Amino acid sequence: MDEQPLMHDWNEAGERWERPAIRVRLLDETLRDGLQAPMTRSPSLDERVEVLHLMDRLGIDSVNLGLPGAGERVARDATRLAEEIRAARLRLGASCAARAIARDIIPIVVLSQKAGIPVEVCAFVGSSPVRQYAGDWTVEAMERHTADAVGLAVEHGLQVTVVTEDTARARPGTLRRLFLAAIGAGARRLCLCDTAGHATPAGAANLVRYAREVVRTSGADVALDWHGHSDRGLAVANALGAVRAGASRVHACALGLGERAGNTPMDQVLVNLRLLGWIDNDLSALDAYCAKVSAMTGVPIPPGYPAVGRDAFRTATGMQAAALLKARRRGDAEMADRVVSAVPAALVGRLQEVEVGPAGGVSNVVWWLEGHGVEPTPERTQAVYQRARSASRALSEPEIRAVLDALEETRGS
């Protein structure tokens, strides 16, 4: 008997992506950076609270609650969300964004005290030459603002991540100065930002390796984050490349929401990290998480969107239906879930679906009938198959039921 595996995995042949030695963490930016997308509507506070609970179910490590320094309403809402984390005993850590200035740091100090939980400060400062030019900043001023902001937050007992905006286009010498200023003032993390979506996977890895070397020479215990955008369509690949190079936390948003082409999609990062074996999170709530974010922001999920789109595990072709049916007939549910899809539907609480339409064959009809508790007799199968062949699209359940009812009426008469 042939004992060889049924699938040869070229991802594991030759160069392999080994599981990182450090635990991969995730920071969800949906309620901050994600809501900056021009097409999103502002969700209610109750809707955002629901999303917090779904993040917690997915094992996401922390959430950015907003930028309290932007105004009283933002500060009030962020405080309410932080209070929910405490009251519901969610495992989520809380963070807030801030510019590297005192008037943005103080509202986070107040929020943390009111909510009764620690709140991480994500203080951002521009780092690339183009950002310095646009803002009329000097490196010396940026160093000073960074050190002052970090020192103020640390003085009030808050952990700080310094976010260098547009890191992927910044000069090495500038980054070294900003990194060392942040570390010297007590920052616990450095976030490398591909703000403009410029990086490639190789570039992301190069940047992380450079930052790691700066941290090593400083002698401090400082971790690295990666925050990417999707302008070149490389956000997920860049995030994985950054983790592989030594970043221990990835920032991302549900459905990749965000300005321009959006942020790194949290859902796709979760799926890929799980398939790589780098995390073991339960992703059965992923569909609910994405559906809730879609509903509350008014941003629809494209039908073919990976893992959570309507068509992600849906086929109408005869060849794929036949493969699914044969695998199921062998009694191998796991193989049936993988025979036509690299992502098992069960991983995200979904099922493989087969539609009956003009591109399908008899196997499509048999799968559908069995799945709906109808015995697939030759007569029923042919009746539905012939109807599908003459249709311009996949048949709906009422249309298939009508064919079966008409067949029963003909037999009865």
User: Could you tell me the residue ranges of all domains in the chain?
Assistant: 18-297, 314-412
Burial class for 261, CB neighbours closer than 10 Å (0-12, 13-18, 19+): middle
Q: Give 224's strand partners.
A: 190
Instruction: Tell me how far apart the alpha carbons of residues 137 and 132 are, in angstroms, rounded to a whole number.
Output: 5
Torsion of CA 81, 86, 89, 93, to 10 degrees: 70
The three-class DSSP label of residue 150 is helix
Q: Which residue has the tokens 């009251």?
A: 87
Phi-psi region of 299 (alpha: psi -120 to 50; beta: other; left: phi over 0): beta
pLDDT for the residue numbered 1:
39
Instruction: Tell me how far apart the alpha carbons of residues 124 and 117 are, in angstroms, rounded to a whole number.
Output: 22
pTM: 0.93
Neighbours of 370 (CB within 10 A): 15
> Domain 18-297 is in which class?
alpha beta
**Tens of pLDDT, residue by residue, the chain (413 residues):** 356 677 788 887 777 788 898 999 999 999 999 999 888 999 999 999 999 999 999 999 999 999 999 999 999 999 999 999 999 999 999 999 999 999 999 999 999 999 999 999 999 998 888 777 667 778 898 899 999 999 999 999 999 999 999 999 999 999 999 999 999 999 999 999 999 999 999 999 999 999 999 999 999 999 999 999 999 999 999 999 999 999 999 999 999 999 999 999 999 999 999 999 999 999 999 999 999 999 999 999 999 999 999 999 999 888 898 888 888 888 888 888 888 899 999 999 999 999 999 999 999 999 999 999 999 999 999 999 999 999 999 999 999 999 999 998 887 76
